[in-house]
């Protein structure tokens, strides 16, 4: 689209660019977008098949009520504490609609999820990025900042860093507005901050079914928080933001704990294996509590050149070329077979 059609506030705008999504079935080793290496629960597939009938002519529940109820039950919450969205990304966007207007400051650490800044600009809010301290930890000025909206990703992407609960609690206590804790990757970490919801009424936790439930293709996320925060999200949401098949998939996925646990256990075990094998090939790694590893190759080779060489071998990973993470790679935890292919390719290239 010609730039001239864009509103003035977006002149020079650089949109968020998702990782490459090659056509299915072409033999790519896809380790660039943190999808699950294992398939979704067979019960989810069955539920979607059963729901793909003539009822699709009808709109879905505007509040995705069955999914809210199932998710609330799973976490021991009230359905009024649960919002459901078209992926975690939609819930992030809804937070801007609900909590930050034009001219409002939105605080977040950097490096973190690169979607935040473009969404800020779309809403004409003012991004307030705070560089992280040593070990990618959140800085005190960020934690103490009273911005009307603050985003914290825990474990963080792309660094994989797990931040402690005291810091999260302090960030909620010091903020004058809403603190969004994006726990997209928390199922792969030793601990979540879910119980803080009982103490921090301005804390909203966002989760996704794209990672530990293997449902990236269905686009399901949910937010957990005080009924007032959830009601605010409901006020600004699109009428039917979650479709019928996504609602049944969400219900079936949240109820199949065994399958979920199997995915998480696989990822956690393979993450350790991959980190140790990569360090044998000379990679430095930053401890990751997510479904990816965050690593730096041995030579100060150009990250882009290494990523290109892997891509020529049909292996996709995410690389970074801007400070403070220039030269680092985020590699999704895959299957053992995918890891062997990656390691063989790296030995060849390096
Ligand atoms: C930090 C973070 N938050 C949220 C999301 C959104 O996930 P989805 O929109 O697939 O639910 C992602 C996706 O990769 C992510 O990395």
| CA of 184 relative to ligand 1 center, distance in Å | 6
Q: Both tokens of residue 280?
A: 């044998």
Q: Is the pLDDT of residue 1 over 60?
A: no
Q: Are 238 and 289 found together in one domain?
A: no
Paired tokens of 165: 């609960």
Q: For position 156, which CATH number holds?
A: 3.40.640.10
Of 3-12, 80-89, 237-246, 321-330, minimum mean pLDDT range: 3-12
Distance 92 CA to ligand 1 centre (A): 9
**112 CA distance to ligand 1 middle (Å):** 11
Residue 8 lies in a domain: no
> Do 88 and 164 belong to one domain?
yes
Distance in Å, CA 158 to ligand 1 centroid: 11
CA distance 100 to 124: 9
* Segment 85-112 mean pLDDT: 97
Please tell me the total count of domains within the chain.
2
Instruction: Quote the pLDDT of residue 266.
Output: 98
Q: What pairing do the DSSP bridges indicate for beta strands 284-286 and 105-110?
A: unpaired
In a domain, 302, yes or no: yes
Percentage of the chain with pLDDT > 90? 93
Q: Positive or negative CA dihedral for 332, 35, 187, 173?
A: positive
Domain presence at residue 2: no
pTM > 0.85 = yes
Distance in angstroms (rounded) separating the CA atoms of residues 211 and 188: 9
The reply to whether 139 and 185 lie within a common domain is yes
With cut-offs at 50, 70 and 90, classify the pLDDT of residue 240. Answer: very high
The DSSP code sequence of 87-126 is: HHHHHHHHHHHHH--TT-EEEEEESS-TTHHHHHHHTT-E
Grouping H, G, I as helix, E, B as strand and the rest as coil, residue 64 is: coil
Residues for the chain: how many in total?
350
Q: Are residues 151 and 292 in the same domain?
A: no
Is residue 68 located within the same domain as residue 168? yes
Pocket of ligand 1 contains residue 88 by CB under 6 Å: yes
Mean pLDDT across the stretch 321-333? 95
- Give domain status of residue 6, yes or no: no
pLDDT of residue 4: 74
Regarding whether 339 and 192 lie in a shared domain, the answer is no
Nearest CA to ligand 1 atom 2: 184
Structural domain of residue 281, as residue ranges?
19-39+258-349
Question: What confidence tens digit (pLDDT) does each residue in 179-218 have?
Answer: 999 999 999 999 999 999 999 999 999 999 999 999 999 9
Place of tokens 């699950």: 36
Q: Which is nearest to 204 in space by CA: 150, 165, 164?
A: 150
In a domain, 3, yes or no: no
**1 located within any domain:** no
Q: Whose CA is nearest to atom 4 of ligand 1?
A: 88
Mutate to test the pocket of ligand 1, among 31, 34, 113 (most ligand atoms within 8 A of CB): 113
Average pLDDT, integer, range 121-150:
96
Residue 111 Cβ inside 6 Å of ligand 1? The answer reads no
| CA separation for the pair 180, 190 (Å, rounded) | 20
Sign of the CA dihedral 129, 32, 307, 1? Answer: negative
Last residue of a domain, one of 255, 284, 316: 255
Mark whether 220 and 151 lie in a shared domain.
Answer: yes
Average pLDDT over residues 151-166: 97
Residues 201 and 267 occupy one common structural domain: no
Whether 236 and 118 map to the same domain: the answer is: yes
38-52 pLDDT, tens digit per residue, is 999 999 999 999 999
Last residue of a domain, one of 230, 255, 280: 255
User: Distance of CA 265 to CAs 262, 270, 297, Å?
Assistant: 5, 8, 27
Q: Give pLDDT tens digits for 278-322.
A: 999 999 999 999 999 999 998 766 889 999 999 999 999 999 999
Q: Is 216 in the pocket of ligand 1 (CB under 6 A)?
A: yes
Does residue 87 have its Cβ closer than 6 Å to ligand 1?
yes
Cis amide linkage into residue 98, ω under 30° from 0: no
Asked, for residue 9, whether it belongs to a domain, the answer is no
- Could you tell me if 32 and 133 lie in one domain? no
| Reported confidence tier of residue 25, pLDDT bands at 50, 70, 90 | confident
- Spacing, Cα 350 to ligand 1 middle (Å): 31
Among 221, 255, 289, residue at a domain's last position: 255
**5 lies in some domain:** no
Residues 232 and 293 placed together within one structural domain of the fold: no
> Are 138 and 249 part of one and the same domain?
yes
CATH number at residue 309: 3.90.1150.10
């Amino acid at each position: 689209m010609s730039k001239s059609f864009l509103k003035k506030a977006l002149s020079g705008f650089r949109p968020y660019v998702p990782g490459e999504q090659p056509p299915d079935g072409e033999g790519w080793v896809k380790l660039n977008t943190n999808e699950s290496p294992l398939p979704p629960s067979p019960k989810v597939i069955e539920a979607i098949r059963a729901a793909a009938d003539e009822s699709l002519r009808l709109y879905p529940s505007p509040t995705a009520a069955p999914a809210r109820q199932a998710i609330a039950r799973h976490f021991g919450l009230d359905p009024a504490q649960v919002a459901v969205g078209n992926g975690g990304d939609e819930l992030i966007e809804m937070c801007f609609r609900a909590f930050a207007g034009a001219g409002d400051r939105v605080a977040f650490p950097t490096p973190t999820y690169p979607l935040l800044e473009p969404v800020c600009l779309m809403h004409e809010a003012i991004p307030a990025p705070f560089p992280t301290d040593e070990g990618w930890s959140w800085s005190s000025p960020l934690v103490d900042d009273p911005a009307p909206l603050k985003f914290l990703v825990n474990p963080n992407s792309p660094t994989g860093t797990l931040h402690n609960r005291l810091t999260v609690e302090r960030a909620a206590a010091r903020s004058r507005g809403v603190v969004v804790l994006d726990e997209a990757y928390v199922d792969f970490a030793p601990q979540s901050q879910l119980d803080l919801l009982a103490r921090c009424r301005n804390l909203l936790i966002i989760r996704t079914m794209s990672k530990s439930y293997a449902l990236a293709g269905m686009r399901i996320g949910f937010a957990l928080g005080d009924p007032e925060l959830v009601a605010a999200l409901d006020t600004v949401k699109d009428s039917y933001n979650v479709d019928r098949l996504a609602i049944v998939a969400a219900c079936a996925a949240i109820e199949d704990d065994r399958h979920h646990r199997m995915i998480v256990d696989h990822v956690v075990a393979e993450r350790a294996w991959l980190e140790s094998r990569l360090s044998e090939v000379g990679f430095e790694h930053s401890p990751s509590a997510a479904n990816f590893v965050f690593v730096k190759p041995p030579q100060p080779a150009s990250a882009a050149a290494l990523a290109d060489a892997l891509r020529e071998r049909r292996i996709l990973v995410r690389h970074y070329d801007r400070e403070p993470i220039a030269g680092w790679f985020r590699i999704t935890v895959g299957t053992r077979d995918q890891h062997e292919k990656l390691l063989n390719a790296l030995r060849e290239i390096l």
